[in-house]
Amino acid sequence: MAFHFRRLFLSSSLLALVLQLLHGVSSQLVVVEDPVAAPPPPLVVVEDPVAAPPPPLVVVEDPVAAPPPPLDGSVPALFIFGDSLIDNGNNNNIPSFAKANYFPYGIDFNAGPTGRFCNGLTMVDGIAQLLGLPLVPAYSEATGDQVLRGVNYASAAAGILPDTGGNFVGRIPFDQQIHNFETTLDQVGSKSGGAVTIADSVARSLFFIGMGSNDYLNNYLMPNFPTRNQYNAQQFGDLLVQQYTNQLTRLYNLGGRKFIVSGLGRMGCIPSILAQGTEGKCSEEVNQLVLPFNTNVKTMITNLNQNLPDAKFIYLDTAHMVEDITTNPAVYGFTTLDKGCCGIGRNRGQITCLPFETPCPNRDQYLFWDAFHPTEKVNLIMAKKAFSGDRTVAFPINIQELASLN
């Protein structure tokens, strides 16, 4: 099925409704007002092609077995940057249409709705548990000594580019998330231990970054943004990774040394995109659109590892993880791969999960929780793969190996 971008052009009334109901994939108390501002700086094409692609999929023999035991506390903290895939409440108290602090979000989470765009735990929640850390608090809620174990700065609708997600009004773009991390460092600096101790703790901590989805879903593919007319797929991927490189270098300059960078999944297969067609098939046009970004990010990882002393960046191949699940759904216990558990319309993806909507009862059999986001079960499978998986999912090493490095 060919996917036509023109299908994304909505009537003004429907667009207004959808913007009040959809959730993007965020910014602490910062509202970016001009989503169609001047384009970012000129392109710099990322050089050095990526090494040979990963080998064919290998089915995990026991994907639902108990995860590896948590680490022994060798990782002081986990700092998280991203969008609604890993946001845990930073948008709750800002003027934004991108929120998930209402039922049935959190239906399987002990604390109920928290702002997580999921029925339960997110992927970074699972990673924190495997690291032996407590669940990392949202920046908007972290207080006192909590920040010493990590902070989650992620914000729904946020992107690498500052204009991304502007249709949702309030969100915390990646640049602002980095600024919020600087604020955290200032707070920690006022505590006992001294600058040397703090610097050592930050250097041994892990930084998880998952950005880019909204730069496509809530920028490039939006009819009221100019980017699709300004850049082809390769140019846009180059533009994003040029900016991404600068942002990750900022985190390095702030003391980070161990970085986990997540690639983009097969976005042409999410219910929101499936619902744009009539044949129920993934949009290969959208899947192909994001390939230059993933390719460039892999090259960026290699270059940063070579150019930044003592830094270690690893890449998580999210698309490969999900492909393993969708190729072998019965192995993982999934029966429904093309519909949201909670949502309205075709593929339950035309309008995402509404307040007090009744979700599906068999959530562990669904790949997607709503129009955009995976279920808790998928998140925890991916956390386990990222933590202890082979080179097909984590490159050049996995999270467990990264955490163990001195």
Q: Is 388 helix (H, G, I), strand (E, B) or coil?
A: helix
Place of tokens 């007090």: 356
Q: 85: how many CB neighbours lie within 10 A of its CB?
A: 26
At which residue do the structure tokens 């994003």 appear? 240
Is 62 part of the annotated catalytic residue set?
no
d(CA 200, CA 181): 16
Q: Is position 4 annotated as part of the catalytic site? A: no
Residue 320 is a catalytic residue: no
Residues linked to residue 362 through DSSP beta bridges, in sequence order = none
Cα distance between residue 384 and residue 382, in whole Å:
5
- Rounded-to-integer distance, Cα 28 and Cα 30, Å: 5
Phi (first) and psi of residue 167, to 5 degrees: -65, -20
For residues 153-179, one letter each, b for 16 or more C-beta atoms within 10 angstroms of the residue's C-beta and e for the rest, the string is: bbbbbbbbbbbbbbbbbbbbbbbbbbb
Q: Which residues pair with 152 in a beta bridge?
A: 80, 138
AA letter at 200: D
Catalytic site residue from 215, 317, 338, 370: 370
**Annotated active-site residue in 26, 27, 84, 155:** 84
List the catalytic residues: 84, 370, 373
